[in-house]
Chain A
Amino acid sequence: MIRIENISAGYLNKKVLKNISCNIYKKDFFGIIGKNGTGKSTLLKIICNLIKSYSGSISIDDKNINSFSKKEFAKIIAFLPQYVDTSMPFTVSEFIMFGRYPYMNIFKIPSSYDYAKVKEVIGFLQIENLTHRKINELSGGEKQKILIAQVLVQETDIIIFDEPTLHLDIGNQNNILKILRDLNEQYAKTIILTLHDLNAAGEFCNKLVLIEDGCVCRYGTPEKVLNYKDIERVYKTTVVVKTNPISDKPYVIPVSKNKIM
């Protein structure tokens, strides 16, 4: 379990997060939603130990994240940031192999187990046709799959994604989120992610936290969090919240205020 207690953080004089507290349990599919600039990515980076200047504490299975060594931590949490530099023309399989870095020996030479793990993940994601292509020549959707493959070979129980569906079309968005759901359901991975798409958040996550001005506005199941009052207040827009007749999950429709009036 990840216990987040009274996390406050900021940049220069601006406080981005104010006393954030919540628990993320094993096998949760945990979504963080909120307006742009409310500190969603900052919170993820604090959980991933990439930002050190904050107050409060984060523990994983009752062990403070600062007490793990860098290598130990990389075997517990894998993180896919919003931006990853893919300008160097590595082949897809070489690029995925970097995820095995925490497990490599002093000279960081991949072992036969590392190669087997990469092959297994390539098979799981069905990206065999991409393995010999250059990472910088792939489309957005293909690249995102490769980045997911890279975090999967890291063999961690917790995987964190910062906007994994950013800039993707609806088909690719759905495919990527289905992969994450499979990882959550079949491989018992704890998934934590930020999303701008409230419908995707409602459809795929089993827990959501809605952040408003750096504070937790609402925390719980999608049905509890995605209520029109909170959404309208946080996003400052008019919405209608309905239940998807097929999945029974809530979905949000933005409404043009002029038409209503």
Chain B
Amino acid sequence: MINKKFLFVCAFMPALVFTVFLFSLLHGSIQISFLDMLKALFGCGVDADIAVIIKQIRFPRTLMACVTGAGLAVSGCVFQAILKNPLADPFTLGISGGAAFGATAAFVIGLVSITNFFIPLCAFIGMIASVLIIYLLNVKKKFNSNSMVLSGVVVSYIFSSAVMLMFALSPSNSVQSAFVWLMGNLSTFDERLLPFIIVVVITGIIILSLSGNIINVVSLSGEKSRTFGMDIEKNIKFLFITASLITATTVSVCGIIGFVGLIIPHIMRKIIGTNNIILVPTSAFAGAVFLPLCDTLSKTLFSPLLIPVGVVTSIIGGFFFIYLLFKSERI
């Protein structure tokens, strides 16, 4: 059984990611033929505009979509296990609130006018601050899942109130820019950050994929996990920090892209089962398929107008949950 699933992860999913990657390169405001795309990629005799679109715009954007999708999906798996709730996601603990606060501050204070690097930097700092607050609030409570969710909700409310306050006190043009960022966007990130993001996210995904059985045992009740000789608090801390770092890295660059970390592990669990040894890498691949597809939709739905990819994922996610609600009594 596990071998069939392993084959699915190792062969079918990477092939699917590759296919979607190429599909995403072909589609956008301008349709490009497969042959032109290949020529552009390999740098042989193609129109200069097409070469620019493929190599400098679509390639990094699609790569970013794949990495972000994979990272958010894997973080979702981990947070669902830590919180013992299949409906949790990377943002349930409110760590996106910190990112939103940091990025909004960068827009409102005017740091953006100095350099655009301040947006991801401030978002990252804000997110790390919220992770730190949640961590400190839960050290005494021994990372109990209920207290983690509760502290997450509280942190989220505090940061969103702070964001609202900044909106209320700021000029409308900076509010507009901050608002677009908050919706999650793959069209405005700085390409120079891409190698850094790839290294952090892929390393995190590999570490978490190798920790599949640890994630499994963490998802049982704490008392039971301890009887297996597991240092539950140490493992929850390790998983929480790794998954948060992946989320912080992607979100600080692309904004808050909701639902990926929720629906991807959920769908994959239905297809491949709950065993995180298989589920974590499969979710990574599935996230790397889902987000480029959503991004392609965001580029083509109202072409030539681009809509934030976070809007597309949220609409799909919303309808998916309505479907689940009606399909089965148990989610």
Contact = CB atoms under 8 A, between A and B. Distances in A.
Nearest to B213: A108
A204 to B, nearest CB: 23
B255 to A, nearest CB: 30
Interface in B64-93: 81, 84-86
B226 A50 contact: yes
A25 interface: no
A192 to B, nearest CB: 13
A70 B223 CA distance: 13
B274 A101 contact: no
Nearest to A48: B227
B275 interface: yes
B84 A79 contact: no
Interface in A33-85: 45, 48, 50, 69-75, 77-79, 81, 83-85
B227 A98 contact: no
A91 interface: yes
B227 A109 contact: no
Given A88-B219, A89-B269, A81 B224 contact: yes
Contacts of A71: 229
Contacts of B205: none
A85 B269 CA distance: 18
Contact of B227 (A50, A108, A110): A50
Q: How large is the interface on B (under 10, 10 to 19, 20 to 34, 35 or more residues)?
A: 20 to 34
Given A48-B227, A101-B228, A88 B213 contact: no
Contacts of B275: 90-91, 94
Given A99-B228, A154-B228, A108 B214 contact: yes
Contacts of B269: 89
B248 to A, nearest CB: 25
A87 interface: yes
Contacts of A74: 227-229
A116 interface: no
A69 B212 CA distance: 23
20 contacts: A69-B229, A70-B231, A73-B229, A81-B221, A81-B223, A81-B224, A81-B227, A83-B221, A85-B84, A85-B221, A89-B269, A90-B275, A98-B220, A101-B228, A101-B230, A102-B229, A108-B212, A108-B213, A108-B214, A110-B213
